A and B are shown apart, each in its own frame.
Chain A
């Protein structure tokens, strides 16, 4: 029987972690073990994704500080076997005990902490790494002396007790070459040494630490809680911890592997468990002893060399990460795959949108979400996160599938403030955990930081993106440019037009669009499935980003109209009309406008059409919300043939509109679907649409509707006038529309969505325990630290700089002749007094400009 080789997910829980090099060492060591097939070093941002994709079978958690239990419990379940190596015991013991229940094996750096972890607790000291720490010992006596650059070397954080001790050493050896590296930070008290600050206050790479140790005659080992420093006990020292670690830290092993000769503080008696005193290392118990031994070994280099050689040999034999990992893996092999009971729960789907049908104004998208929720709530659990601007305070809200408000979040997100983004990220993370969401279905992203995608990914959610607009292409999500027309972005040869547009429409500095493009490109990669309504939107996205979505990553799902029945058209009558026996001549055409009456839906064009059809046999019916600016205009004009019907619900207007003739869909932006077009067809209306986006894609000219140039009212007026005189043409098209049925009906559409959600079925269950607080309150860690750090979220350049005016030159200034002429004409025109005032104003302005320049 062949045993399954380990595929290990190695997770460093802390960021930034100065000890990450240990993680690198562990990875290197694991790779060398014959039972290991592959090791993946991950962080929270990619851990779950990697575990699922690479089918890892062992979770190896390193450090334990800042651990996120929500992610780790999911990882444990995916991998089957899990272990943690806590490296901050006993300082973190209390919380570590709590966390340990999520793991099958618990290793701790501290021998005294082991007992607290029960039967699964094991002691595992640090070690050294061949790859990072090994240095060859120069033992040739001729070269050896020249090889040393320093007499005494110490590197470590400037804990106060260490500083006190170091001062004494410096005083005792004024003539020796001492290399000190004592990085400080803002939490440590300031101190002074005879040396200048620049000589010791910096951090070094662990590889360099080893080179220093190798090229110094003596390396001092002073523990973090090292307490033999002064003659007085350091109990008052806030950094002195009674509950100190009993096992030495990594530097002991690293120095030994680097071939350094160590004089070590023996206040940790456990040192002798690893190295024999006087054979491999030399110890001291007080500062006097330390000074004596330094003196002794400086004049007995051969003895020091022997110790260094012995210590290095022993390290190679016993204290490398290879050895440690070997021990770990042997224990793992005896572990049985944990038999956690997988509980069944409904797949939970969170819709991300900016409005909902409960918070008008809403459009097709909101209806679409409502339809999904209403029809699939037996199978899935739905929540909708939207933004509500109706109340006194703008807020986010979560509603369940029945539309009941489950949570209100009084927060307003500001995309220009990183603090605000950070706050929202925390809120969002908590929501995903609290509702145990499996799938994030994004409909709108504009009121959210784009990092919501990263956070969802981090928690192992599947992400579906329904492309209802072009937010992924431009922040001007309907692609209407600063001149108020569709920018045809996919045909632009460069982003220069975008930069111009964004500058004039939103005062965004030049060259910002490229940054946004790169930012969003990274997000696109994380989306599991795109839902497009038509092929056109997909192609536009692909063209802009110059990529092709693979077949697995997108689907074309045309939404259905919400009407449940089909048009009540009397087709016998139509057939009659085709035979030419229709009695209809010069009938009044009833024209319907469905949906929001707003600028990008062509409201301006429609008002032009209303004006152009005065005294023709037409009646207009506007169903839907009218934005305030257009409401005023419509009131002003007072068209007798215009009927404003107000907001509508699909069911009630169906009988009303199905007896009408024409519907107008004159959007000036490339719609991604336009549900009202389906509704119109379904009600037996003949649509006149602008030839742009999905409208242009869906309608065949003169067959099932008419296509006109976008933003061209004249063409529509002419067409309608023509139809008024030749209504028969309408009847023919109505018949085509009828023959083309059925249009996607609700059931069909819902079935497609159900398939989509089921295909996304995540292969692991949700949370056993929910730990919202652990991440934030106890550790007070910003979730930002864990998000991928590829780019800055703020993509907007500020428009900076100013034009150079050469005031002194003749470029902008008028010649004196011109000035006199101007004054003369001015006096003639406005009189002496006013000219004088004007002149003074100019002078004052010029002076202030001049002053400001300097």
Chain B
């Protein structure tokens, strides 16, 4: 399949918004690295938002993949489309912030030849053809860490303190206080609980944080930027699910959707919890039973390496593209 793709595609991979507006710029770089590892240098090219049109002229691709968030008002894709039409290039958008930014998709509805969205349930709401679900993943190069058993903390989480997360950690407080817990990210100050660290971690720090923590809590967000049209609830777990698995830790997934079971097998590769009681029970089980912990860490990392790398996602994306 890959050989076929190598012959068929000449890909310009572009970030969907300018670097100064894009807090996920590193993600574009990571995905491009994966693309690069599959194809030879002559056939793939990375472009920043501001230079896409110039780069199309220079590189002459037959496929442009625009990756990321299209929400900033500074971003518009008419000119890029014009250039693509002019040279007969297929224009693909791979969005990574559905459903939280779903309403912005109107911007590209008539421009994209194909749309790939990170969220499965959101994919049903695109009232057009050639829309596919493509979850985010992890990179074996950036996110992989060998599993270590000697951890510096028991429980960890890193992310923005959205109200639903604050509520959850509030509700789990009694259990969290029993262990070495640290919660990083912005927006955690108000509660001033002993385990809140109102501090952001860099991308590499984050991976090390996962690697150094026995159990990572995985909880989604209920915070929409532009999701008023249909108020879609998300169904696909976020990219950190795959990244944490790759980094060699065990995740406790707070169940608000069961799509997680399509990516990781409960109890074998990931632990699910529904409330404070099941959380307490599972944490206790994992902390006491080192072998169980290790087997889940190994299995989940194995699964991530086998099924949830960006290389796989890219191949899946390309398999949808027709001439």
Contact = CB atoms under 8 A, between A and B. Distances in A.
Interface stretch (B6-14, B99-107, B181-189): B99-107
A518 B276 contact: no
A523 interface: no
Contacts, number: 117
A521 B222 contact: no
B171 A199 contact: yes
B228 A16 contact: yes
B170 interface: yes
Given A511-B74, A792-B73, A20 B228 contact: no
Given A196-B171, A199-B171, A15 B229 contact: yes
B234 A205 contact: yes
A546 B82 contact: yes
Give chain A's interface residue range (CB within 8 Å of chain B): 35 or more
Nearest to A785: B228
A21 B124 contact: yes
Nearest to A524: B78
Given A198-B167, A790-B107, A518 B229 contact: no
Contacts of B258: 149, 208, 211-212, 215
A519 interface: yes
A24 B125 contact: yes
Contacts of A17: 230
Given A205-B121, A791-B73, A198 B235 contact: no
A788 interface: yes
A211 B107 CA distance: 32
Interface string A116-148: 000000000000000110000000000000000
A208 B274 contact: no
B203 interface: no
Interface in B229-265: 229-235, 255-259, 261
B82 A515 contact: no
A616 interface: no
A201 B222 CA distance: 11
A790 B70 CA distance: 10
A196 B76 contact: no
Contacts of A42: 127
Contacts of B167: 197-198, 201
Contact of A207 (B103, B104, B120): B120
Contact of B106 (A18, A131, A788): A788
Interface in B192-249: 222, 226, 228-235
Nearest to B254: A198
Interface in A503-562: 511, 514-515, 517-519, 521, 545-547
A15 B106 CA distance: 15
Nearest to A19: B230
Nearest to A215: B258
B170 A208 contact: no
B272 interface: yes
A203 interface: yes
Interface string B262-294: 000010000010111000000000000000000
Contacts of B107: 790-791
A56 interface: no
Contacts of A785: 228
Interface string B148-163: 0000000000000000
A789 interface: yes
A477 interface: no
Contacts of A41: 127
A789 B232 CA distance: 15
Contacts of A207: 120-121, 124, 235, 259
A547 B78 contact: yes
A411 interface: no
Contacts of A244: none
Contact of B164 (A18, A198, A215, A518): A198
Contact of B73 (A40, A206, A518): A518
A594 B75 CA distance: 44
Given A16-B230, A789-B229, A791-B73, 13 more contacts: A16-B231, A42-B127, A131-B124, A149-B258, A196-B275, A202-B256, A211-B257, A211-B258, A211-B261, A511-B74, A515-B73, A521-B76, A790-B103
Which are the 9 A-B pairs with shortest beta-carbon distances?
A199-B275, A196-B171, A41-B127, A211-B258, A205-B121, A518-B76, A198-B168, A515-B73, A208-B257
